[in-house]
Structure 1
Amino acid sequence: MKFSKSNIKCIISTNMLISFLMTMTKSRISIKILIMVITSSFLFSSLFSYFQAKQSLRDEILSSSLPLLSENIYSELRHELSVPINVSSSMARDSFLMNWVLDGENEIEDIKLYLGNLKSRYGFFSTFFVSSSSRNYYYYDGILKQISPYDSHDIWYYDFINSQKELDLDVDTDQASNGVLTVFINYRLEDFSGNFLGVVGVGVRLDQLSDLLKQKKTQYDRDIYLVDEEGIIQVHSDLSLIEKINIFKEEGISSVAEQLMETEEFPIDLIYKKKNDHFLVSSKSIPEIGWHVIVEQNEERGSFFAKRSLFINLLLTAAITVLLIIASYKILKSFEQQMELLASTDSLTNAANRRELEKQFKLLEYRSKRFNSDLSLILIDLDDFKSINDNYGHIAGDTVLKEVTFTLQKSIRPIDLLARWGGDEFVILIEAPRDEAALKADRMVHSFDKPSNVVHNGKEVPVSISAGVAVFKEGDSLKSLIEKADKALLHSKAKGKNCVTLSD
């Protein structure tokens, strides 16, 4: 049997008292009183330790365990949803899709191929486009249906339009896959003038996210679920509760629901009572999608262990150690990722470096051959950069390189790659035919026509660029593709700079 410090002190003082009293008297009455004192001391010490341990346990769960777990779940969910959200965003900005809609949605095979390639490339459960003009619901196998305000399955579409949101997540059955519960990431598609064309997006099986929460529930012995901005459960390890429970209407948790739904940078930690039990609950906002991660625990689960205060202290120490190991592992992992990022980016401009360019080219080369897709390369060179360094200094030259990188990065899609080739040269890999790549390059060149936003010592530094465009062909390597683009770039320089030339 193990004793706390307070129990040990009590034993020491009691032993001294026993010795003293037995020396003074052999009275049975004194012995009984002594036994009562010892018993009372142990009872008081045990009760004090129990309530102290129980309060410490509550404080630890509210201030450390639940918030850390909320952050952990939040990070993993963001990782799970980042790819489908980013791809949906790219679809909403895809000029091919806009032009296909504006041209009258005539070639159904084109949209089938487009959606099918995205589905297979990223392993999504579903990819879709709903046209506002024809009301056709296109998916990877063609036209699924025509949407209607009278079809309960289509209410999401009209709700999304009326919400005026750019992005929304919706949990629903996928009619294209025998009613499998799916998380749909919906994005508004608008033309270049901001006119609404329809809704695009991808679908992820709900059970993928539910399995993640189920694993965490088993691992941490906590109830974990996601609620939308209205407090309705959207993801839960128990699929039968999805879209059936609203925390604003549920007994107990409704008393703290409004506070839980506040959008805060850090987790919110509260206590609520349901029947005779107290629940400790933590909430973390996911601002990208407007949902919240809820993590809760019945406080009574820890009461049994709190009765064994020393054992609980050891257990909590071990738990904290595990949490520190997990935190250390995450910090180390984050440091490794930062080191990988440094190894793949240019230290001055934060554009990709040559190593990353070569790596991404191999992937795009394989994809071009595998899916017979277009791949083009744009080689960009700053005009008269040496004179900028000579007239304004190298610090001004570095500033120009950073600003040019920033401007070029804004001009390309998230799936395109911008790399610094060396000195004042940049390379852009773009999955597009030559003419489209040339058009994008021309826009980049003309983006520097306006007055320069680079200022050094109170003076504007004039900046212009020239570009050469080459298209990938069978047998091309990165070196040969850049050589073709470089020849085209030299023609741009010869023509007076500040222009684009296409390779033969």
Structure 2
Amino acid sequence: MNTHHRITGRHRLMLLLGTLLTLGFLTTSLGSYFVSKREIHDAIVDRELPLTSDTVYSEIQKDLVRPVFISSMMASDTFLRDWVLHGEKDVTLITKYLKEVKSRYGAFSSFFVADGSSTYYHAGGVLKKVRPDEYRDIWYYRVRAMSEPYEINVDLDMANRDTMTIFVNYRVLDYQGRYLGATGVGLTVDAVRHLLSDYQKRYQRSVYFVTQTGKVVLFGSQPLPADDIHAVSGLGAIADRILANPAGSYQYRLDGRDHLLNVRYVPELKWYLFVEKVEDDALSSIRRALYLNLAVCVGVTLLILALTGVTLRRYQQRLEQMATTDKLTGLANRQTGELLLEHALADARRSQAPLAAVLIDIDNFKDINDSHGHLAGDRVLTRTAELVAANLRASDLACRWGGEEFLLLFRNCAGEQALLLADKLRSIVAVATIDVDGTAVHVTLSAGVAQYASPQTAEQLVGRADQALYAAKRGGRNRAILQASATESGD
């Protein structure tokens, strides 16, 4: 990206930011202007409806604590686990057990699915065999694969005429922690429905639950005009926006009246809780100092834009440097090096000029880290990079390729000449002394040299240089080796 594009982009961002700030401050100012007029409205939206929503949500959670506790006891019951481990021999025993749980705790449903036999047991006996290809058994295989001990799921109860039921599905493990199956109890949604009706009468608000697709599944004594919020006039226009957020306050118009709505997502049920009230009362209005607010907003906007412009310019410069430069050595990083390599290959193809790639590796670098510490290793890398960069030609390119490896590109340079240049760098580093906290450290380099031969790819060229580097390592280190031509090496 050139300077002109960067400046244009920054100006566009500033213009967008200024527009957003202006719109935001204008909206705030106008909101302040009508604050008194909206006092009752805000009280309903910000306090009354959320408070009702919180209360209903708390009651639901309280009703779910008991079945979770019961399911937990079932999952850890020694009888249940021993019965499974002994081969599920007497079905009457498990049936009697589930019936007793259902009766003692007043549960709507109790069940156990054995993983070994895939049998679904309930208080009335054997219901079925669960199968992974049966859509109504998906819940079991989801529970089987999950890491959490239990889940709360709303589903139809096959053992009770497909009654809509809130199930607590608890994983059962043996004494060694191996999965045995799933057990739990169910709570009929009628209990929650009675709760909703009670709140509708007490607070004069409509309370209902909606699925993630918009279907109204649970309501009190006052149902909506339709069984899907998309089909409700006014509400349907904002239905998708409501369902796309976990919580929020909304307003819509139905039958000539404004409806104020608070929505929150209930993760335990995977439903949305809707609490709404019709806005009937007359609203008073008192004017505010709108122009003073606008003047303050203009000043604040200009100040923010000025500070943002300075910050963006400095941040952009810093980002460009970080994106292209290795932080430790100051050389080009691997990503930039790959781009430079591709450009160098393209230039070599066009000009037919020779190009050589050199991979340099610091010998026994791990020993330096082990003997002197990683900070000393960083110092060695930094000093080696300085020595290499200081002794390159103006046309040469260098980058940190990874770890203690550096990639050099010698333009207009054949293989033999590149070998001499690489050996020169090796000699310079070999005689240099690197000071590490007062200790003189000497390092050596191994180098692999490969000359580019069309139509090689960048990966093939670097790969040949890497082969030469390994040959230098195997040959005793502290040396530079030229890889054979592409034809001779079999590329």
TM category (shorter chain) comes to 0.3 to 0.5
Larger radius of gyration: 2
Structure number with higher relative contact order (C-alpha < 8 Å, ≥ 6 residues apart) = 2
Scaled by the length of structure 1, what TM-score is found? Answer: 0.43
Scaled by the length of structure 2, what TM-score is found? Answer: 0.44
